[in-house]
């Protein structure tokens, strides 16, 4: 449930009612509607959510055995002042709030690792895969991405040059360069280098705010929480069945495309 629509790209139709680990489909409340009975069954918004109360509610509505329908023709325009400061603050708060959701729905005393699923069209509708789930005294969610690998290598390089054998430092530096290329490279448009560099810088700032917010939010929840970062590659179109033109009476989503959210 941590990743929003932002990284999913829904199509018109039913959304999967299961999640991948704690990643779940949801509708931002800037444009969402609920059946009163579903709200009653789900129990309304959770006031303990700093952010992500819309994700939390959609999870509970889905668990109450109601379908989620995405209707892109119902449009809302959001007027916003876009500033770097506002962007950083917004993603910091998203990260911070998501830690609570992981604590609420995620497994206890397990360390789970996720990454973007690069297999074309396969996997799951979120394009996210859980790569490992192991018992651990510390509860945690770790997202693996070039961003995280880049910083891990930088730490390694600093340690290597400061205290350890210099070879470790050089290895860390080489790794950092390689992952920096993976992080910045795929989106770089050679025809517009200045613009590409600026957009990459903005992405780096947003990712950093998101990860930092998640880390601090996770500490508050007594867990290790390494938030997902933006995709480094342009998303490939996912192969999925054509969406129904209209919802039909008594229709249920036939095959839950993803596993259920782990029981709290």
Shortest Å, Cβ 178 to other proteins: 24
Q: Which residues within the stretch 154-193 sit at the binding site for other proteins (CB under 8 A)?
A: none
Contacts of 79 (CB under 8 A, 6+ apart): none
Structure tokens at 166: 């210099």
Cβ closer to other proteins: 134 or 242? Answer: 242
DSSP 126-151: T-EEEEEEEE-SS-EEEEE-HHHHHH
Cβ closer to other proteins: 62 or 176? Answer: 62
121 in contact with other proteins (CB under 8 A): no
CA distances from 259 to 8, 13, 14, 242, 264 (A): 16, 19, 16, 21, 14
Shortest Å, Cβ 103 to other proteins: 16
Among 202, 212, 215, 216, binds other proteins (CB under 8 A): 202
User: How many Cα atoms sit within 13 Å of 157 on the Cβ side?
Assistant: 14
Q: Are 66 and 38 within 8 A, CB to CB?
A: yes
Tell me how far apart the alpha carbons of residues 15 and 1 are, in angstroms, rounded to a whole number: 13
Q: Are 141 and 114 within 8 A, CB to CB?
A: yes
30 in contact with other proteins (CB under 8 A): yes
Cβ closer to other proteins: 73 or 162? Answer: 73
Shortest Å, Cβ 117 to other proteins: 15
199 in contact with other proteins (CB under 8 A): yes
245 in contact with other proteins (CB under 8 A): no
Q: Which residues within the stretch 50-109 sit at the binding site for other proteins (CB under 8 A)?
A: 53, 58, 61-62, 64-84, 87
Shortest Å, Cβ 86 to other proteins: 8
């Amino acid at each position: 449930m941590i990743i929003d629509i932002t990284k999913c790209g829904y199509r018109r139709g039913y959304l999967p009612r299961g999640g991948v680990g704690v990643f779940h489909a949801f509708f931002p409340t800037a444009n969402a509607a609920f059946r009163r009975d579903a709200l009653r069954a789900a129990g309304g918004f959770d006031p303990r959510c700093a952010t992500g109360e819309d994700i939390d509610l959609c999870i509970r509505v889905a668990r109450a055995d109601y379908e989620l329908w995405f209707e892109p023709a119902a449009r809302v325009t959001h007027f916003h002042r876009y500033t770097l400061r506002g962007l950083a603050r917004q993603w910091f708060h998203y990260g911070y709030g998501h830690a609570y959701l992981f604590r609420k729905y995620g497994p206890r005393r397990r360390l789970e690792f996720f990454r973007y699923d690069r297999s074309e069209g396969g996997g799951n509708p979120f394009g996210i895969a859980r790569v490992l789930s192991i018992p651990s005294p510390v509860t945690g969610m770790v997202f693996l991405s070039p961003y995280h690998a880049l910083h891990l290598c930088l730490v390694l390089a600093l340690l290597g040059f400061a205290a350890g054998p210099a070879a470790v430092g050089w290895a860390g530096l080489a790794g950092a360069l390689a992952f920096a290329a993976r992080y910045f490279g795929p989106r770089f448009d050679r025809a517009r280098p200045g613009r590409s560099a600026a957009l990459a810088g903005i992405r780096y700032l947003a990712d950093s705010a998101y990860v930092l917010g998640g880390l601090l939010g996770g500490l508050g929840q007594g867990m290790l929480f390494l938030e997902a970062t933006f995709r480094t590659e342009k998303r490939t179109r996912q192969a999925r069945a054509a969406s129904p033109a209209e919802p039909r009476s008594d229709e249920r989503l036939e095959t839950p495309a993803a596993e259920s959210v782990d029981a709290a």
